[in-house]
Amino acid sequence: MASKILIIGACGQIGTELTMALRAKRGNENVIACDIREGNKELMASGPFEIADATNYHQIEDLVIQYEIDEVYLMAAMLSATAEKFPMKGWALNMDSLFHVLNLAKEGKVNKVFWPSSIAVFGPTTPKHDTPQTTIMEPSTVYGISKQAGERWCEYYHKKYGVDVRSIRYPGLISYKTLPGGGTTDYAVEIYHEALKNGKYTSFLKEDTELPMMFMDDAIRATISLMDAPSDKVKIRSSYNLSALNFTPKTLAEAIQKHIPEFEISYDPDFRQAIADSWPSSIDDSRAREDWGWKHEFDLEKMTSGMLEGIKEVHHV
């Protein structure tokens, strides 16, 4: 019998594409999507969908029992820029939902858990270049604090209760299929839309703000390959560093100008600049590459071509 997967927060930026990728791989009926609201037409039409609140233990437990779930991907979260505006809400959503899933695994109701961490776990005191897997972590945002706490709890539940939990510290993620959801790296998605629509963009980060980024296709592939890896290959149970690209708003604009020569960028940094300044500019992900064979496929040029073509196709710009 095929294993059953539950994706919580399936309608978000990562959740939408992860759901579609897992349905293509495992069969539509074996991947149950759930979120607090309905998703796009393609997601809703492709397989089972349930409305559920990630912070309500009983709603999640009911779905796990009803569908005989083996694996849970917990993608529900309040992201960095939004959580700064609603600190207590951000903390409650990000932590309560994790405890619910870890406790279901501890009780033997699910066998395997994926939970996303983020480069937000790092802070201003973290080495900025080639940030190591194990290093100083003093996050200065609500989102980062919740992710760092989550990493510690994941490792604790693995050591103490044998929970098979796996995690990736996602960099900024770039996709043309779903719009961003209130993150500090959102400029790297918005810029492509604006380049095609208006031929100009005002960045909310300074021109030389370098951050680790990744094309969504790579992130989805990494997530699934970590979950498919044999348990003994998963040596880190807090969260793995993951990397592909590093660039600034200026270098991204130059990559777009190769395709749209008349494109113009200007800069008007806002409160998200301070968040970006607290994060690494590049990440050392050698452990992920060694332990379970991670390799990225998209460089800046390949991603830029993919984004511009994809936006034209999906959004008819």
Torsion of CA 45, 50, 54, 56, to 10 degrees: 170
Q: Are strands 172-174 and 200-203 parallel, antiparallel or unpaired?
A: unpaired
Q: Which of 143, 176, 187, 240 is catalytic?
A: 143
Q: Nearest-CA neighbor of 60 among 41, 73, 47?
A: 73
Q: Nearest-CA neighbor of 28 among 14, 46, 44?
A: 46
The count of other CB atoms within 10 Å of the CB of residue 273 is 17
C-alpha distance from residue 4 to each of 28, 52, 67, 110 (Å)? 10, 17, 7, 10
CA pseudo-torsion sign 176, 177, 179, 185:
negative
Q: Which tokens is 34 given?
A: 């759930």
Q: Which tokens is 211 given?
A: 């951050």
Q: Is 57 a catalytic residue?
A: no
Q: Nearest-CA neighbor of 154 among 120, 112, 118, 115?
A: 115
- The separation between CA 92 and the C-alpha centre of its own chain, rounded to angstroms, equals 18
Q: How far apart are CA 226 and CA 242, in angstroms?
A: 11
The count of other CB atoms within 10 Å of the CB of residue 181 is 17
116 close to 137: Cβ distance less than 8 angstroms: no
Indicate the SS3 state at residue 147. Answer: helix
Q: Where in the sequence numbering do the catalytic residues fall?
A: 143
